[in-house]
Amino acid sequence: MVMEREEGQTADAVASRLATLIEPGSLLEATPECLVVAHADGRILFANHRVEQLTGFDRVDLVGQSVELLIATDILELVPGTRLETICRTNDLGEIPVEIHLGTIEGPERLLVVSLRDVSDLKAGREAQFEAEAKYRALVEQIPAVVYLDPVDENSDSIYVSPQVVTLLGIDQDEWLTDPYCWRRHVHPEDLDRAWEEYEDAYNSHTTLIHEYRMVHEDGSIRWVLEQAYPINDEHGNPWLIQGVIFDISARKAAEEQVAFLAYHDKLTGLPNRALFEEMLESAITRARRHDLGVGVLFLDLDNFKLVNDSLGHHAGDVLLAQLGERLKGCTRETDMVARQGGDEFLLLLSDLERGAGPIPGTEAALIVAESVAERVHEALQEPFNLNGTEFIASGSVGISLFPQDALDAATLLKNADAAMYQSKKQDPGGYVIYATSGEDPMKKLSMTTRLRRAVEQENWILHYQPVVNLRDGSVEGVEALVRWQDPNGGIVPPGEFIPLAEELGLIEAIGDWVIDAMAAQQRAWAADGLDLTVGFNLSPRQLWSAHLAEKVLAKLRGADVDPERVVVEITESTAMADPDRTQKILNELHAWGLTLAIDDFGTGYSSLARLKHLPVDILKIDRSFVRDVHLDPGLASMVQAMIQLAGGLGMTPLAEGIETAGELAFLQEAGCPSGQGFYFARPVPADEIPDLVTREAGLIPPDFRSDR
């Protein structure tokens, strides 16, 4: 049977004809579904008004059209009863996702009945859910942590765990999800009770849980974790689920342990450092006071460590220090401590020493123990060190200080051991000195310290100037500023008597700042009088290592309107070589501002020529110990000639210090040394005597020695 729309027929007429085939026709319109009735060949016989609302097609116009006009699926291939999602086409060429259900009506003619349901909202919801789940998984499964979702019932299976659990514990996700006791089995036994108690406390108080504990991987390794968990409540406000995150913080814990270790230990040797030594020293002194015991501190400094660094390199120096640390531990008792102070300095703490008379009449028991340890240290140093195939015999000087004989507190005990060590270096390198018998009068030193501090506060300083002489014609090329202490109670104090103490007390920077200010002011005054002189001054080691040295010096010179190119900065060779890399950086900064640089006391500081050639030095000052009687000693003569040639080869000007005789002058002239200074020409004098020396027509050397006559 075919129902065709004839000219002039209305939709009602078509529906009326359909009603004769499908009873009751009113149900087709009353249903909330979109219904399409089609012939077995797919031609549309009827579409209810819901189809019009969904597609925008006039349902009368649809009659006789193929059902594929509406539905993007070949329904003729479908089995009756099929339900599927497909696309419904609209009159405006749009598409609507629909769910269709195919049925049949059996009668004189078999008809197909297709119901359509708009699933746009359902599909959008599905897509939103899929997108949300994808975002959640992308977030959860990419972060470096295990994310889990558990029911509040501890005996129930877990709901979700992220795949990171495989890395953290070596188990698969299913094991975590199906075994309620999986977490318990992997918490470290020593942490389980605490971790579970903290979990219950957070759950009962409805607060977020944040705690750290250890877990055990399947391979037996320990993992430190940080867990954060919080409850998710149901619609009634009762705990429903537990959402948690477990972070692997093993690396952080290892770093914290390393930091804690390094805070009290030396990285190179593994020995305690100064901080831990001081704490243990305080504790030892406390015990000693309580039980009437003694405490000893030994301060060791290697005498020839710089030779290793310069000749074999810093790695060999590190090897030496590490091996020495091990040997020193063998020199003490188990109750004692060996620490690395820094550089090539080591500290030994001798605790709980018995006090009283020693086995030899007139000896102190604690002192005998300290001396025996010092002897063992020197014996340990006598065995050669193997530095990457090179044998090296080290030498070290030791200072000893005892509680309560030499000091009653830790700081003073350490300072006294340090002072005794330096005394040992001066008088007996490779030996040891006991502070109490070092020969220094404590009261005299205390008095000197008090007076020196007062001198710094009151600036009781004066500058004397020693001419630097041109050895060819005797003219004055410049002057060197030398500080003197004008002690109201003791007259003029030479620098050798107070500079070392000022260094020890940390006062040298204040004195050095005063010297630069006074020197700059004097140079400006001379310039105003028409006297153009280069002026030099000495930098102490502490000044050289001070922060922003170049900026500070330049600011003072600019403040006095002094040209930096007319100023010579002098540092000793030993200071320059103490830390060559650091020295080079500082000297480069000074040189960049135009300051002339000089190495003082050359020949006494074990310079590395490889280092020296890279320093921006202009003047090489040959130490007076090589100049004295140089004309009488062939060995000295050869050394001084070599130094003069070395300076010339490095592009530096050699300058001889401490010239005191005509014979020394004659030799230096013959050797080609262009400049010098010393008592032969003039002693250091006050500033007002310099103009007369500079303007002498004959210069400062006898006429017979002048090469310009």
Backbone φ and ψ of 476, nearest 5°: -90, 115
Q: Mean pLDDT over residues 441-462, rounded?
A: 80
User: Domain limits of the chain?
Assistant: 11-120, 141-254, 265-440, 454-697
For the chain, how long is the longest CA-to-CA vector? 152
Q: Which contiguous run of DSSP H or E holds residue 12?
A: helix 11-19
The pair phi, psi for residue 90, each rounded to 5°, is -115, 170
pLDDT digit string, tens, across residues 325-354:
888 888 888 888 999 888 889 999 999 888
**% pLDDT > 70, the chain:** 89
Answer with the residue of higher pLDDT: 580 or 421: 421
DSSP type of residue 143 = S
Average pLDDT (635-660) is 93
The yes-or-no verdict on residue 684 having pLDDT over 90 is: yes
Domain 141-254 has CATH 3.30.1220.10: no
Find tokens 């060190």 and name the residue.
Answer: 385
Cα(568)–Cα(410) distance, integer angstroms: 42
> Is residue 404 classed exposed, middle or buried when 0-12, 13-18 and 19+ CB atoms within 10 A define those classes?
middle
Q: φ, ψ for residue 682 (rounded to 5)? A: -170, 145
For residue 438, what pLDDT is reported? 45
Residue 632 pLDDT > 60: yes
**CA dihedral sign, ordered 313, 315, 318, 320:** negative
Instruction: Look at residue 178 in the predicted model and tell me its pLDDT.
Output: 87
**Mean of the pLDDT values across residues 684-703?**
90
174: its two tokens: 């299913």
- The predicted pLDDT at position 188 comes to 93
How confident is the model at residue 619, as a pLDDT?
A: 95
Most trustworthy range by pLDDT among 144-148, 156-160, 560-564, 693-697: 560-564
Which pLDDT score, from 0 to 100, does residue 693 have? 93
Same fold, 141-254 and 454-697: no
On average, the pLDDT of the chain sits at: 85
Summarize pLDDT for 501-547 with one digit per residue, the tens. Answer: 787 677 888 999 999 999 999 999 999 999 999 999 999 877 887 77
pLDDT of residue 179: 87
Q: Looking at the whole model, is its pTM more than 0.75?
A: no
Q: What is the pLDDT of residue 282?
A: 92
pLDDT at 691 (0 to 100): 94
Residue 357's pLDDT is 67
Surface-to-core class of residue 593, CB atoms within 10 Å of its CB (0-12 exposed, 13-18 middle, 19+ buried): middle
Q: Is 537 in contact with 556 (CB distance < 8 Å)?
A: no
Instruction: Report d(CA 705, CA 666) in Å as an integer.
Output: 7
Residue 440 has a pLDDT of 55
Note the pLDDT tens digit of each residue in 467-483. Answer: 999 999 999 999 999 99
CATH topology of domain 265-440: Alpha-Beta Plaits (3.30.70)
Q: Is the pLDDT of residue 7 over 50?
A: no
Q: What was the pLDDT predicted at 566?
A: 94
CB 673 within 8 A of CB 630: no
pLDDT at residue 2 greater than cutoff 50: no
Between CA 616 and CA 621 the distance in angstroms is 14
pLDDT tens for 197-225 read 998 888 888 888 899 999 999 999 999 99
- 557-572 residue pLDDT tens: 999 999 999 999 999 8
pLDDT in tens, 260-313: 777 788 888 888 888 889 989 999 999 988 888 899 999 999 887 877 777 778
Give the C-alpha separation, 674 to 668, whole Å.
8
Q: What percent of the chain has pLDDT over 90?
A: 38
Looking at CATH, the fold of the domain delimited by 454-697 is given as TIM Barrel (3.20.20)
pLDDT digits (tens, 9 = 90+) for 16-69: 555 444 444 456 777 788 999 999 999 999 999 889 989 999 988 899 999 999
Query: Tell me, what's the pLDDT at 224?
Result: 93
Task: Give the mean model confidence (pLDDT) for residues 656-677.
Answer: 94
pLDDT band at 236 (very low <50, low <70, confident <90, very high): confident
Confidence of residue 9 (pLDDT cuts 50, 70, 90): very low
Structure tokens at 333: 């008792």
CATH superfamily of the domain spanning 11-120: PAS domain (3.30.450.20)
